[in-house]
Structure 1
Amino acid sequence: MPGCFKKTLFALASAISFASFILIVVAMGTPKWMTGKILCKTGAELVNATDPELVKFIGEIYYGLFRGGKIRQCGLGGRRSKFSVFPHMVKKLNTGLHVMIIMFLCVAISFSLVSFGFCILNAIKVPYRAIKGPAGICLWNFLAGGFIALAVTGFMAAVKLHRLTERIANFRENVFQFVILEEQFEDCFWICVASATAHAVNLLLIPISCINFPKIKTKTEEANVTAEDIMY
């Protein structure tokens, strides 16, 4: 039973690592990390818009790591547009930080796959006690979760400290100026947080596999040897 229990834990850890890999890939390819409402400040000031009229100047914006879109409301109806972060927009952003976020997620993808592979190896073979064993799996999960946490923290810093949404909203806007009324993190951002949490769960599962449970032994009956048995 202990062997089956350990194999079950390694199989579960491998499934979690693969799920984390899928979550990161989906999050990176989806253009909805952040959504918000933008006010066309220039248009509202031109007509001295009051509170009821400001609705005509409030648009929407959404974006991810590679692309996004917005709806401009400048008093003449909504105008939809889409944009790509690379290659032009990234020059107006904090280029180093944005590229580091993407690199951190790519490294996390690699470590998630490494963790998945070694979990499978330990599930079908005798676990090694070196870097390939439970300690190694914990290391890969710690690195994967750590890089995801760095990417999430970097994105939050770009949004809150470097005004990422405002920079994107005003990209190539020569006439109108937009201000951010509200912004919120969307599902793709929280998917990355869930991916890091999945690796944290693995860090709890793998040490359990190292526990040596006592084996259940059946008590053998003592044989009664008599003198007649010795003679024959």
Structure 2
Amino acid sequence: MPGCFKCTLFLFIAVLSFISFILILIALGTQKWMAAKILCKTGAELVNATDPELVKFMGEIYYGLFGGGKMRQCGLGGRHSRFTIFPHLVKTLNTALHVVIIFFLCMAFSFALTSLGFCILNIIKVPYRAIKGPAGIALWNLLAGVFAVLAVTSFMAAVQLHNLTERIANFQENIFQFVILDEQYEHSFWLSVASATVHGVNLLLVAISVIHFPALKTKTEEANVTAEDIMY
């Protein structure tokens, strides 16, 4: 494979690794991992609300890994509030699982930066006594992708198996009880999924970089054949 083509692939992998790092950073910093519609069950039962009247008892909630916001309606108009996961709300959640999600994401963007650094080292050919070359780049992308997948899977487990949205919606609610009507993953969650996908693409590019393509040979000029060449 021509050296310039391999360097171009490494440069492209470096750009994708940097994009993955930015995606995870945005996912950590924004609070739009999950959004849901909530129903004030207690208020609706107090007035025996029917289907058309239930709209007055429906609110919304959104949250991320560090905080979020809620708009609650219990028949007296909407009330907006904001909350933070740390240090109080995390006590009502599965603390270990929530911290593990953040840890996995931190590891994912750390390895994404490591992949970026190794790509640059391979492009400029700086001697480095560690795992380098395509094998090293593949290793760091594999680790980054695995940790991103683990973070996404752990968050889905917290939502589906540990009723994360319902726990957050009922945080510090002593009188009213809220139930979840509908919930959906928001852009911060999908940014983490995109980050894992980017590392999958990087692994494919690394595999392409180790393929040895046949070198293009220029057609040599035909030699002049003389009578002596024919005889001998």
Q: Same fold (TM over 0.5)?
A: yes
Give the structure 1 partner of residue 175 of structure 2.
175
> Does the 8 Å contact 1:97/1:154 carry over to 2?
yes
Give the structure 2 partner of residue 18 of structure 1.
18
Q: Distance in 2 between matches of 1:102 and 1:47?
A: 42
What amino acid sits opposite 1:170 in the alignment?
Answer: N
1:206 shift after superposition: 0.7
1:130 shift after superposition: 6.7
> Does the 8 Å contact 1:105/1:148 carry over to 2?
yes
Give the structure 2 partner of residue 230 of structure 1.
none
TM-score (norm. length: structure 2) = 0.93
Give the structure 2 partner of residue 65 of structure 1.
65
* Offset from partner CA, 1:92-133 (integer Å, 9 cap, x none): 000000000000000111100000010111122289897211
The aligned runs of 1:21-100 (5 Å cut-off) are: 21-100=21-100
> Does the 8 Å contact 1:129/1:135 carry over to 2?
no
Give the structure 1 partner of residue 160 of structure 2.
160
Q: Distance in 2 between matches of 1:155 and 1:217?
A: 54
- SS in structure 1 at match of 2:68: strand
Q: Distance in 1 between matches of 2:36 and 2:127?
A: 49
Give the structure 2 partner of residue 121 of structure 1.
121
- SS in structure 2 at match of 1:31: coil
1:164 shift after superposition: 0.2
- SS in structure 2 at match of 1:184: strand
- In structure 2, runs of 5+ residues without a counterpart are 227-232
What amino acid sits opposite 1:217 in the alignment?
Answer: K
Q: Note if 1:4 corresponds to 2:7.
A: no
Size of the aligned set, in residue pairs, is 227
Give the structure 1 partner of residue 151 of structure 2.
151
TM-score (norm. length: structure 1) = 0.93
Q: Distance in 2 between matches of 1:3 and 1:155?
A: 42
* Offset from partner CA, 1:55-98 (integer Å, 9 cap, x none): 00000000000010000100000000000000000000000000
Q: Note if 1:188 corresponds to 2:188.
A: yes
> Does the 8 Å contact 1:127/1:133 carry over to 2?
no
- SS in structure 2 at match of 1:76: coil
> Does the 8 Å contact 1:40/1:74 carry over to 2?
yes
- SS in structure 1 at match of 2:194: helix
1:217 shift after superposition: 3.2
- In structure 1, runs of 5+ residues without a counterpart are 226-232
1:216 shift after superposition: 2.6
* Offset from partner CA, 1:129-187 (integer Å, 9 cap, x none): 97211011101000000000000000000000000000000000011100000100011
Q: Note if 1:206 corresponds to 2:216.
A: no
- SS in structure 2 at match of 1:193: helix
- SS in structure 2 at match of 1:171: coil
Q: Distance in 1 between matches of 2:117 and 2:35?
A: 36
- SS in structure 2 at match of 1:198: helix
Distance 1:204 1:129, change over 3 A: farther
Q: Distance in 2 between matches of 1:130 and 1:92?
A: 44
> Does the 8 Å contact 1:31/1:68 carry over to 2?
yes
Give the structure 2 partner of residue 228 of structure 1.
none
Q: CA RMSD in A?
A: 2.1
Identity among equivalent positions (%) equals 72
> Does the 8 Å contact 1:141/1:202 carry over to 2?
yes
